Amino acid sequence: MGDGVTNRTGTRTAIVDAAAWLLHAGGPSAVTTRGVAERAGVQAPTIYRLFGDKDGLLEAVAEQVLTTFVQDKAAAAAAATAADVDPLDDLRASWRRQIEFGLANPAVFRLLSDPERASDSPAARTGRRILETRVHRLAAAGRLRVPEPHAVDLIHAAGVGTVQTLLATPPERQDPALADAMIDAVLGRILTDPPAEPPDGPRATAVALRALAPRLGVLSDAERHLLVEWLDRVSGRPT
């Protein structure tokens, strides 16, 4: 039984790898059942049995490519935290990697830009949690002037929009400074420079303390809950 599972897993991996190669080389139209079967060394019915249809195969390919990228992002985030890298530098580096990934993998990016696919993608959800971690580090450093969820939404939306815009623009007309300009615009909206100047001072302090609230062990659960409620009110975070 174990050999059967191993063979099935190996066959599935071979098919996904073959489809990923074709997708990268020629886009979704290049991922034909015949082409994948020939490259993977399997019969066409095997593809239908494992993936249902071409759309199912493309989703599996997109998930695999994104999973590999997200694993690298997670490792980079952990390393940055361990080395106490400036959270803003870490966020900028992550932004650049995200834009580069989208431009280097247009077919995968377009597949996962579909809201329904993105919501069903474990890798996409993990990627968002990594972004939340990076934004949380900014909040804990007292750098945010907006609630953490709002900052995450702005950065995510800006990233998707930047890649979509660049992919829709002919290469000769692409603005190489667009990605940097976009993240600068978003950071200008969500960040405050220390020391904070009124009226952002109380909000930035509230956001920073809100990020640290779960670690305030001297408070009871009820006290922490009440503190979080107050801080959310000061920072303007929806409750």
Per-residue confidence in pLDDT tens, the chain, 239 aa: 445 545 778 899 999 999 999 998 888 889 999 999 999 999 999 999 999 988 899 999 999 999 999 999 999 999 999 999 999 999 999 999 999 999 999 988 988 888 877 778 899 999 999 999 999 999 988 899 999 999 999 999 999 999 999 999 999 999 999 999 999 999 999 998 765 444 566 777 788 888 878 888 888 988 888 888 888 888 877 76
Helix axes 122-140, 200-212, angle to 10 degrees: 120
Domain identity same for 23 and 105: no
Residue 115's pLDDT is: 80
Residues 149 and 205 in one domain: yes
Strand, coil or helix: 191: strand
pLDDT at 43: 93
92 and 143, same domain (yes or no): yes
48 and 64 both lie in a single domain: no
Query: How many domains, in total, are found in the chain?
Result: 2
Tokens of 32: 């034909």
Looking at the chain, how many residues does it have? 239
Query: Does residue 115 share a domain with residue 45?
Result: no
Task: Note whether 191 and 215 are same-domain residues.
Answer: yes
Return the structure tokens found at 203: 């909000």
CATH of the domain at 21: 1.10.10
End of a domain among 9, 29, 52? 52
The helix/strand count (H/E) of the chain reads as 12, 0
Residue 77: CATH number of its domain: 1.10.357
Are both 25 and 112 inside the same structural domain? no
Q: Does 109 share its domain with 18?
A: no
Residues 215 and 142 in one domain: yes
Range of the domain at 35: 1-52
Q: Residue 144 has what DSSP assignment? A: B
* Same domain (yes/no): 143, 35: no
Q: Do 147 and 205 fall into the same domain?
A: yes
Indicate the DSSP class of residue 23: H
Same domain, 95 and 3: no
Helices (H), 83-219: 87-104, 106-113, 115-120, 122-140, 148-167, 178-190, 200-212
